[in-house]
Structure 1
């Protein structure tokens, strides 16, 4: 049996994303966990939080 684990977003990417959108790192982590590689929608979600 093989188990496929989803790779966690590297902390460097989370911090960069948080700084880009001027949001908290924990909020950035939640967004990136939810949207994964879909950066367009992740950016939209971050803008909603930052507003």
Structure 2
């Protein structure tokens, strides 16, 4: 049986999915892609950038 918690934790360390990130911050997929390319797996900084654009 697969441990779902471990699977989620491993995913949380990588960069966001573009569609998920765009919906989360209510921004375009193009803007989301640019942010993810710039910040990579640094989710804290990516979220900050997403909030700045959506404001």
Quickly name the TM-score band, shorter chain normalised: 0.7 to 0.9
Which residue number in structure 2 is paired with residue 37 of structure 1?
41
Aligned-pair CA distance for 1:50: 0.1
Aligned-pair CA distance for 1:25: 0.2
CA RMSD in angstroms comes to 1.5
The yes-or-no answer on 1:19 pairing with 2:33 is: no
Greater helix share, structure number = 2
2:27 aligns to what SS in structure 1?
A: coil
The runs of at least 4 aligned residues of structure 1 exceeding 4 Å deviation read: none
Aligned-pair CA distance for 1:35: 0.0
> Unaligned regions of 5+ residues in structure 1, if any?
1-8
> Following the alignment from structure 1 to structure 2, what is the Cα–Cα distance between the partners of residues 37 and 44?
13
> Unaligned regions of 5+ residues in structure 2, if any?
1-14
The number of residues matched between the two structures is 41
